[in-house]
Structure 1
Amino acid sequence: MTTRTIRSASPADAEAVCAIYNHYVDNTTISFEEAPVAPGEMAERIADVASLNLPWLVMCEDDKLIGYAYATKWRARAAYRFAVESSVYIDCDYAGKGAGTALYEALLMELRRRELHLVIGGIAQPNEASVRLHERLGFIKVAHFSEVGLKFGRWIDVGYWQLKLAPRENP
């Protein structure tokens, strides 16, 4: 029987994270990066997220890392400090099997624990699976930018979905 666990990422997870992410970089418009990310750079990204006291989670099935989810600042100005942008990536062999939902739910729990107010998901279009995931978790579409990215010689739209994590009084 297989066991799935979710834990905080560390820079030591960078190589496994790259194995998942670089598939999307090389083969899809889900990520707008155009060149594969090296493990050293990914380790820095993981450490940068942790340094901001934001979550970067990984899901393992037995000993294999099969997905990850994290949040980054939405914008740099202080007034935006309660809003974050989320990302979730699943090993393509495990897509559609509940890993993305479980990871996203764990990420949202961590964001609530940190008393954040709003999470924003940007989704390159079309991506029906990601739209369904976000909407199933309660996100609502709030924006659509037409032809905002160029990858593989074609223009790509991006939609934005948001989720208010909890009612919040003015701090």
Structure 2
Amino acid sequence: MADAEAVIRPATPRDQEAVADIYAHYVLHTVATFETTVPGVADWERRLDDLTGRGLPFVVAELSGQVAGFAYAAPWRAKPAYCHTVEDTIYLAPSATGRGLGNALLHEVIAGAARAGVCQMIAVIADTGSDASAALHRRCGFTEAGRLTAVGRKHGRWIDTLLLQRDLTAAEPE
């Protein structure tokens, strides 16, 4: 269950500095993302405009009025036949983990993507040595679709990715 103080809401342009700061931590210090260059606020503003223009969800979690995490659904691939499939992204400020915010954000992204007519959602999870992200996705109805071995290299190590998938046309798991 999400922290009682948490507010999940659509992201706005004014949130993008906090979003950029949260993501920068993961780019610089982890293998959770394969990005190696920190995107700037303008990059995040463009992403927000693009996704909301497509009718796809981009949401933030607020704790005590501060952005503590974000999530969105983005096109899975650019080819037209993939137009009903998205990939989810979720990141929390390191100080905001363990409060149920990831669960609340993922549920909102699933619901928003389903409202947008999306049929399938893919999670691409870097093998960081922690099962937290995969466990979150499994609790939200995702099932394993495969593993890609040693497809990324960051911070001197080869990284696998786990692929999970959720049918958004099926009933929400309890």
TM over 0.5: yes
Structure 1 pair 144/11, CA: closer, same or farther in 2 (3 Å)? same
Q: How far off is 1:12 after superposition?
A: 1.8
Tell me which of 7, 10, 30 is aligned to 2:9: 7
User: Residue by residue, what CA displacement relative to the aligned partner does 1:7-47 show, whole Å, maximum 9, x if unpaired?
Assistant: 11122211000111111111100011112221122211211
Distance 1:12 1:144 in 2: 37
Moved over 6 A (4+): none
Q: Percent identity?
A: 35
Q: How many residues matched?
A: 167
Tell me which of 115, 129, 134 is aligned to 1:131: 134
1:44 and 2:67 correspond: no
User: Residue by residue, what CA displacement relative to the aligned partner does 1:152-171 show, whole Å, maximum 9, x if unpaired?
Assistant: 1111111100000114xxxx
Equivalence for 1:30: 32
Superposed counterparts of 1:65-84, under 5 Å: 65-84=67-86
Equivalence for 2:155: 152
TM-score between the two structures when normalised by the length of structure 1: 0.92
The answer for unaligned runs of 5 or more in structure 2 is none
Equivalence for 1:86: 88
In structure 2, the residue corresponding to 1:30 is in which secondary structure?
coil
Distance 2:14 2:50 in 1: 14
Distance 1:45 1:138 in 2: 26
Tell me which of 103, 106, 109 is aligned to 1:107: 109
Tell me which of 99, 114, 120 is aligned to 1:97: 99
Amino acid in structure 2 at the alignment position of 1:33: E
User: Residue by residue, what CA displacement relative to the aligned partner does 1:41-96 show, whole Å, maximum 9, x if unpaired?
Assistant: 22112112112221101111121001111011111122211110000111111111
Tell me which of 158, 161, 169 is aligned to 2:164: 161
In structure 2, the residue corresponding to 1:132 is in which secondary structure?
helix
User: Over aligned residues, Cα RMSD in angstroms?
Assistant: 1.5
TM-score between the two structures when normalised by the length of structure 2: 0.91
Q: How far off is 1:3 after superposition?
A: 2.6
